[in-house]
Amino acid sequence: MAPLLGLDGHRLVSFSSAGLSGVMLALSFPTLGHPASAWVALVPLLVTLYGTRSNRLAFALGLITGLIQFVGILPWLTPVMVEFGGFPWPGAVALNGLLVAYLALFPAVFAVMMVRICSHHGKWALLAAAPVWLTTELGRMWLFGGFPWELLGYSQTSVLPVAQLASLFGVHGVTLLVVFINSAVALALIGPRSCRVPVLAVAVATLTVVVLFGAWRLTDNRLVHDGTPLRVGLVQGNIAQSSKWNPDMRSTILSRYLDLSRQSAVDGAGLIVWPESATPFSFEEHSDGDLIRQLARETGAYLLFGSTQNQRGPAPKVFNAAFVLRPDGEVATVYHKIHLVPFGEYVPLRPLLFFASPLVESVTDFSPGTETMTLPIGSHQVSTAICYEIIYPALIRRFVQQGSHLLTTITNDAWYGESAAPHQHFQQAVMRAIEQGRYMVRAANTGISGVVDPYGRIVARSAIFETTVMTEDVRLLTGLTLYGRMGDLVAHLCLLLTLGLLVIARRTRP
């Protein structure tokens, strides 16, 4: 393939190919996309990068891919800022654009690294795309608090035989597989004819082994019979965000949660779960908190729910918290949310965002929690991730390492209406169940609430904007998956491999 610099026609093809990769990456995720798109999404970009020798052009190509990818995945943020942040549409589009531009830097860095590696190692270096892409996703997880929304491996969550790979290597392992297939196809397209059949044969064999493992794990199915049974009730109150903190609605909101919970208790629930910030008041500081305590005593069930908790003192703090009440109505423990949502629960770089004053002024800074903990339910331990925390696989693994027998997550996705956001959020929660070999119980204010088994199969799922209660059987499990034991070791090895390839390419550069 001829170098693209200086050739306007080739440049147009190059940027079109990068844009096509961005479109297919976006179409790998809910709700408009399909998992099949992910298996070839990076092929146009990789083929183009191999014919590129300019770091600047590589950066631009990767940036185009990333911009289109994240514009397609995150369009729902703009209306949220307009409706709830008080932003005019132009300002909301601009602020969302800043986030998209930041996220697009990671595919841009990927492109530069691939050009450097390929310029030294040749066509076969295209097979390094998997560890290099994963390295950039690790950066997206770690830098500035992280925003690991819809990593590429999540695209296969609903493809259960493939998704079982996450029980071995986490979502990062699925990402590695998907990008490896992309790189093999790209190499077959531009490599010598003699390598096409062997490369594609290896790719097909690898995918076949993964699918066979996944099919075996799904057929084995032992985790749905192991452990201790527990009946869990999920309450989806379906409270509009505009009504949530309206004092005139307080009694109505609480009555709805109490009535639905009693219905679940009649159906045998031993644990009843309400969503994030379910109480329209701070539980410990309002007299209506006694009605919730009375509910626990009346039903004899454990109650897990979200509320705020205020810490008084010289430096007062407010936490987004999850409370567990015992059947006697007393608080068993309180968990404070650790990973706060940027621009939702705190404003990063607040002094520099003077131009975003409507949003900055409307956001109350929560304090982050500092301690992962499990929550006692009888003689067992469960854990909860509050909202956005469920997209951090290492956090959920820490819960399991500390003895959690059941994963729960409580959230409020009412902000996002009927957009793709609730579907994307639910998709990522499902992957945590597969990774850890645990049942996942999810209570969402307006949906999607549901129960997921340890293999990622949906046991029960609510509709969005439905007032409902679901009471389902789960199992409290104690075993650990391979991923639960070793965590992100493979991902960290990929980081080291990428750095090694870059060092070698730099040292031997003429």
Residue 238 and residue 446 in contact, taking contact as beta carbons nearer than 8 Å: yes
337 included as an active-site residue: yes
Cβ within 8 Å of residue 59, ≥6 positions away: 108, 109, 111, 112
Output the CA–CA distances (angstroms, integers) from residue 210 to 41, 154, 391, 485, in the order listed.
Answer: 20, 16, 24, 20
d(CA 181, CA 45): 14
Among 150, 387, 389, 435, the one annotated catalytic: 387
Q: Which helix (DSSP H) or strand (DSSP E) does residue 483 occupy?
A: helix 482-486
Residue 211 has, within 13 A of its CA and on its CB side, a CA count of 8
Among 118, 137, 150, 276, the one annotated catalytic: 276
195 included as an active-site residue: no
Among 118, 337, 345, 494, the one annotated catalytic: 337
- Sheet with strand 468-476: strands edge to edge: 331-336, 317-325, 302-311, 271-273, 228-236, 468-476
Which pair of tokens denotes residue 456?
A: 């990622």
Three-state DSSP class for 84? Answer: helix
276 included as an active-site residue: yes
d(CA 103, CA 137): 10
Query: Which among 392, 393, 427 has a CA at the least distance from the CA of 35?
Result: 427
Read off the amino acid at residue 38: A
Output the CA–CA distances (angstroms, integers) from residue 142 to 160, 201, 486, in the order listed.
Answer: 28, 36, 19
Query: What angle, 0 to 180 degrees and rounded to 10, lies between the N-to-C axes of helices 129-142 and 489-507?
Result: 110
Residue 469 and residue 260 in contact, taking contact as beta carbons nearer than 8 Å: yes
Q: Is 351 exposed, middle or buried (0-12, 13-18, 19+ CB in 10 A)?
A: exposed
Dihedral angle computed from the Cα positions of residues 161, 162, 168 and 173, in that order, rounded to the nearest 10 degrees: 180
Query: Which among 398, 401, 405 has a CA at the least distance from the CA of 375?
Result: 405
Measured on CA atoms in the order 489, 490, 492, 497, is the torsion positive or negative? positive
Which pair of tokens denotes residue 509?
A: 């550069």
User: Among the residues of 27-54, which ranges form H helices?
Assistant: 43-50
Per the DSSP assignment, residues forming a β-bridge with 289 are: none
d(CA 428, CA 433): 9
Residues with a known catalytic role: 276, 337, 387
